[in-house]
């Protein structure tokens, strides 16, 4: 699947951020977090206009647990790929969270430095949230 040219980018406004938060909260309600009791939901806009979601899925063998962002990028790939353009993450109360460093690295692969993240302190590019990042371009 190819990304639209910049002049064809799907518009994204304030109401879209609200819809993205609502989608993340809905995904959070499906999280499986019996051990930490810390459900997380995420939602992102794809460059073709789709909204995709993910939730955390824990496992009794803690190292096998999956962050919500892992589910999100799996959904992205399973539904045709594309580039993430806007992203939000919420906790069990629906409050906005910042992804952990590991998940920021995961998001970098699929959204790049210009991916816009909603944070408790406002919107930031992934480049601001993951300075001096490592990506596919470093592998040659």
Biggest CA pair distance of the chain: 47
pLDDT for res 8 = 55
Q: Is 7 a catalytic residue?
A: no
Q: Say what the pTM is.
A: 0.90
Which among 7, 14, 69, 114 is annotated as catalytic? 69
Residues belonging to the binding site for Zn(2+) are: 67, 100, 103
Per-residue pLDDT tens for 16-28?
999 999 999 999 9
Domain of 58: which CATH number? 3.40.140.10
pLDDT for res 69 = 98
Residues belonging to the binding site are: 56-62, 67, 100, 103
The tokens of 86 are what?
């806007």
Asked if the structure places residue 72 within a domain, the reply is: yes
Residues belonging to the binding site for substrate are: 56-62
Task: Summarize the confidence of residues 84-110 as an average pLDDT.
Answer: 97
- Which residues constitute the domain of residue 62? 11-129
Asked if the structure places residue 3 within a domain, the reply is: no
Strands 116-119 and 84-90: parallel
* Whole-number Å distance between alpha carbons of 60 and 120: 31
Per-residue pLDDT tens for 108-137?
999 999 999 999 999 999 999 999 888 888
How many domains does the chain contain in total? Answer: 1
- The torsion angles phi and psi of 113, rounded to 5 degrees, stand at -65, -20
């Amino acid at each position: 699947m190819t990304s639209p040219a910049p002049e064809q980018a799907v518009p994204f406004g304030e109401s879209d951020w609200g819809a993205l938060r609502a989608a993340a909260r809905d995904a959070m309600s499906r999280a499986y977090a019996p051990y930490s009791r810390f459900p997380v939901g995420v939602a992102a806009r794809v460059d073709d206009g789709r909204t995709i979601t993910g939730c955390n899925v824990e496992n009794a063998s803690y190292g096998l647990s999956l962050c919500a962002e892992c589910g999100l990028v799996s959904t992205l790939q399973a539904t045709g790929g594309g580039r993430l353009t806007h992203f939000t993450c919420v906790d069990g109360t629906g409050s906005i969270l910042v992804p952990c460093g590991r998940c920021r690295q995961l998001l970098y692969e699929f959204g790049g430095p210009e991916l816009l993240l909603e944070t408790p302190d406002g919107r930031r590019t992934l480049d601001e949230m993951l300075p001096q990042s490592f990506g596919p371009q470093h592998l040659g």
